[in-house]
Amino acid sequence: MSLVESQTPWIWTPIERNCLSLLQAKPPRRAALLQIHAFMLRNSLFTNLNLVAKLIAALPSADPHGGARHARRLFDRTPHRFSDAFLCNTMMKSHQASRQFSEAIALYARLQRAAAGFSPDNHTFSTLAKCCGITSSAREGICVHGHVIKYGFESNMYVATSLVDMYGKLGQMGHSRKVFDEMPERSPVSWTALVAGYIRNGDMGTAKELFNLIPERCRDTAAYNAVIDGYVKLGQMGPARVLFDSTPDRNVVSWTAMIDGYCSCGNVDEARVLFDTMPCRNLYSWNAMIGGYSRNKRPNDAVSLFQEFLAGNFFEMDDVTVVSVLPAIADLGALHLGNRVYEFVKRKKLDRYANVSTALVDMYAKCGEVEKARRFFDGARARETSTWNALINGLALNGRAKEALDVFVTMRGNGFKPDEITMLGVLSACNHGGLVEEGKGYFRKMEKFKLVPKIEHYGCLVDLLGRAGRLEEAERLIESMPYDANGIILSSLLFACGCAKDVARAEKVVEKAFVMEPANDGNYVILRNLYASQRKWRDVERIKRLMVVGGAKKEAGCSAVEVDGQLWEFNAGEGAHPHAEVARWVLNWLRFHMEVRGALVDAAMADETLTNEEIQVTELSEEAQGNGVPIKIIEKDIAEETKKDEETTLDGEFIKVDKESLDVKYRSNAEEKSSAVEHTKTDPEPTRELLESQEKIKELKSELQRLSHSAKEAESENTHLKDELQQTKEKLLESEKKHEELEVSHNDLLEKFTDAENRYRDQLKTLQESLQAHEVKHKELADVKESFDRLTLKLETSSKKIQALELELQNSSEEARKYEELHKQSGLDAEAETKKGFGIRKFA
């Protein structure tokens, strides 16, 4: 109840009631709240503090990004705001709802300093305890506990529970248990807060013991969920499932925790079974299942579930949904679906979250849209180290090694510290670009960045050395590693041996690889192809037998293409695909033209397990790689603008095919070819036409000789031009090499400049801190001097008083002496009188 209400009963006017009904009816949008705010200003309704509190509470939910700032401006301009605890609590809760926890704590400190009439209540301390726990503000949390005791709320169950939860989040379980033990009354929330605190701090044993001590009336679903979540985080799905099955009232949180746990352990199928059997799902359940598929490299399932989510209109996507599905979209290259997600992100302004920006940059880079990824990175509102990592890895993946290294230098220049993932992306860029020395240099610099190379970094450097043909150096690096070589590193070295045709070294490496990964078909295939290239057919047969013994089975090749937002997947050797027949006709048609052009397959390096159709696909892919001309084959009409755009982008051509047209073209070309052959084999009769043809042949021969002479002259001229071109090319290569050296030097200088700038900033910061300390000491010295002056003044005053007292004492001494002298004189006179009296008496 506000101060106004406590003094006099508040009578609500009809206008105020209308505003209250608008604020309470349905969470209004930001525009509606601004209109209500303007209406309250126009009608001077800010004297009703309860109405102002309702508006402040509604703003953060309507505008999560700027609602709290608007609410704070409204609060600061409200008269008598410090005298109303309900209004102040509402403002602190608004900061908490907008995750501005430090602002809430600062507001309370300001109220304590400036507001003499502010009296906190149990809601105040509950909000503050939550904010201190989330921000790990231990000093402020202890101060809040002190104020709780000062204002007499230590026995309040609501406040004490908040303190138990706060100390649990701060890692101070001794204080948390002490507050809990001193509670006169405990609620189910109190027990759950203490159990969750032990789980959060890794003490699962104590948490389980405490859970067993909870009375039946206080053991609710939240307590079960806390313990289940603890088992899930430890990867102990067995105890988690037992407790889940024994939970009396399972809710959506229970199901979602188990789904997330199974996905984290790699058991996605069991997670999907739970997901399908859930009685009720929420957005977090969908996010957990979609994210589980993405993390376990099952992008098809993730995208399929995501499309089911969109089709059902169950919930609206949030930032977690976007971050969960974008990696799967990137793995599939489903750019159309990725653009659809991006449109939603742009419409809902979710790109202000750094994790969403990172996922979008990663998705566009992996889909080959590097320029779009770069533009999106440049326009990102929030960047983190992970955002830079996504761009570096994307550029490296697309073979743009130098750009990736430039981005790394820029990242360091902007003050971002590289982590292990950053360096893995940098080494990957050097690997894709063949930059051996640069890769070795960056590997050595990891120590400078205070990073310990992991086995992934060693594996990347081994692959870089192997691809460059430095097999001995790669072997020495493997021997010097502080880790045991894993299957990936051995496979990389084996692949390098295959490329270098080093059979002896490959046999040495493969002995370890077969022991470590006997079912890895890639190692067998590399060695088998290497034997085949050396014409060692007996060894080829031996490797085939070893594959059977080791249980290795060559996985079928798979490719996918997105057409009008739908993904079509093709597996090698698959004949049941709905478009398989058309695909075969296309392959036959392309194969015919390739035969005419003389395309051949290297039989020595061909895989003996391939079928005839697979060999045809191999021929087509090799021919396409050799010519560098992408071809997009469609079976329907396409708009002319789209065709021009894609031809410009791909620098290739479109071919529209259907089964009938292919049949006709293939048959007509074959007939032309066969008729030409038959014509050359037929022996015609000597007729007049033949004689005329012979004359024409003679003329053609003479013309051919003339053309041959011209061709020789042109050939000599071409040779001269080729020599000049070769010289120019050599000069260009030298220029490029010098440019690369200059660029490396430039990067080194830029790094040195960045280091110097960082050192300068550190020194400047140290000097500023010293200056601040000096100013504090100077201020303290001034205060001491001022105190000393005051003491001096007091001392002088005291001295004057002492002098006056001494003077008075001296006067009193003189008066006492005079009085003593008078007293003596009086004694003498009395004695004389006495003697005189005695004399008279004697005389008488």
439, pLDDT greater than 80:
yes
- At 675-708, the pLDDT tens digits run 443 443 444 444 455 565 666 677 767 766 776 7
Q: Is the dihedral of CA 772, 777, 783, 786 positive or negative?
A: negative
Instruction: Name the band, by pLDDT with cuts 50, 70 and 90, for residue 843.
Output: low
Q: Is residue 341 part of a domain?
A: no
Query: Do residues 303 and 268 lie in contact, with contact meaning Cβ atoms separated by under 8 Å?
Result: no
Per-residue pLDDT tens digits for 286-336: 999 999 999 999 999 999 999 999 888 778 888 999 999 999 999 988 888
| pLDDT bracket for residue 671 (50, 70, 90) | very low
Domain count, the chain: 1
Under the banding of pLDDT at 50, 70 and 90, the label for residue 569 is low
What is the number of residues in the chain? 844
State residue 571's pLDDT score: 65
Give the residue-averaged pLDDT of 474-501.
88
Domain that holds residue 599: 572-678
pLDDT value for 564 = 57
Whether 629 is covered by a domain: the verdict is yes
Buried b / exposed e along 348-373 (16+ C-beta atoms within 10 A): eebbebbbbbbbbbbbbbbbebbebb
472 belongs to a structural domain:
no
Yes or no: say if 392 and 426 are a contact pair by the CB < 8 Å rule: yes
CA distances from 322 to 23, 360, 556 (A): 31, 9, 31
- pLDDT average, residue stretch 349-374: 90
Kindly indicate the confidence band of residue 189, based on its pLDDT and cuts at 50, 70 and 90: very high
- Name the residue type at position 691: L
Q: pLDDT by residue (tens digit) across 3-24? A: 444 444 557 777 778 777 777 7
Burial class (CB in 10 A: 0-12, 13-18, 19+), 548: exposed
The yes-or-no verdict on residue 577 having pLDDT over 90 is no
Compute φ and ψ for 655, nearest 5 degrees.
Answer: -130, 120
Q: How far apart are CA 766 and CA 756, in angstroms?
A: 15
What confidence tier does 774 reach under pLDDT thresholds 50, 70, 90? confident
584-593, 601-610, 784-793: which range is least confident on average? 601-610
Determine the pLDDT at residue 293: 95
Q: Which has the closest alpha carbon to 460: 438, 77, 761, 224?
A: 438
Q: Which residue has the higher pLDDT, 596 or 321?
A: 321
Q: Per-residue pLDDT for 609 more than 70?
A: no
| Per-residue pLDDT at 597 | 55
d(CA 97, CA 99): 5
Q: Is residue 227 pLDDT above 90, yes or no?
A: yes
In a domain, 94, yes or no: no
Q: Assess whether pLDDT exceeds 60 at residue 510.
A: yes
| Residue with more model confidence, 597 or 139 | 139
When comparing pLDDT for 610 and 206, which is higher? Answer: 206
Residue 627, domain member (yes or no): yes
Whole-number pLDDT of residue 675: 44
pLDDT above 90 for 217:
no
Q: State how beta strands 653-656 and 631-634 pair.
A: parallel
Residue 656: in which H helix or E strand, if any?
strand 653-656
Q: Please tell me which residue, 742 or 373, carries the higher pLDDT value.
A: 373
In single-letter form, the type of residue at position 373 comes to: A
DSSP code string of 561-619: EEETTEEEEEETT----TTHHHHHHHHHHHHHHHHHHT----TTTS-TT--HHHHHHHH
Do the domain assignments include residue 469? no
Please tell me the predicted confidence (pLDDT) of residue 392: 94
Q: Which of 326-330, 653-657, 819-823 has the highest mean pLDDT?
A: 326-330
Does residue 512 or residue 788 have the better pLDDT? 512
pLDDT at 647: 44
pLDDT of 763 > 60? The answer is yes
559 strand-pairing partners: 570
pLDDT band at 33 (very low <50, low <70, confident <90, very high): confident
Q: What is the pLDDT of residue 658?
A: 45
pLDDT one-digit tens code per residue, 87-139: 899 999 999 988 889 999 999 988 888 756 678 999 999 999 999 999 989 99
| Per-residue pLDDT band at 504 (split at 50, 70, 90) | confident
Q: Which of 158-162, 275-279, 311-315 has the lowest mean pLDDT?
A: 311-315
- Is 610 part of any domain? yes
Reported as a pLDDT band with limits 50, 70 and 90, residue 731 is confident
Distance, in Å, from the CA atom of 304 to the CA atom of 176, rounded to the nearest integer, reads 46
Given pLDDT bands bounded at 50, 70 and 90, which one contains residue 484? confident
Inter-residue contact 289 to 271 (CB < 8 Å): yes
Q: With 50 as the cut, is the pLDDT of residue 77 above it?
A: yes
Higher pLDDT, 225 or 777: 225
**Average confidence (pLDDT) over 572-591:** 65
Query: What integer best gives the mean pLDDT of the chain?
Result: 79
Q: What is the pLDDT of residue 617?
A: 43
Query: Cα torsion at 488, 491, 493, 497 (round to 10°)?
Result: -170
Does any domain span residue 485? Answer: no
Amino acid of residue 238: G
pLDDT score recorded for residue 809: 79
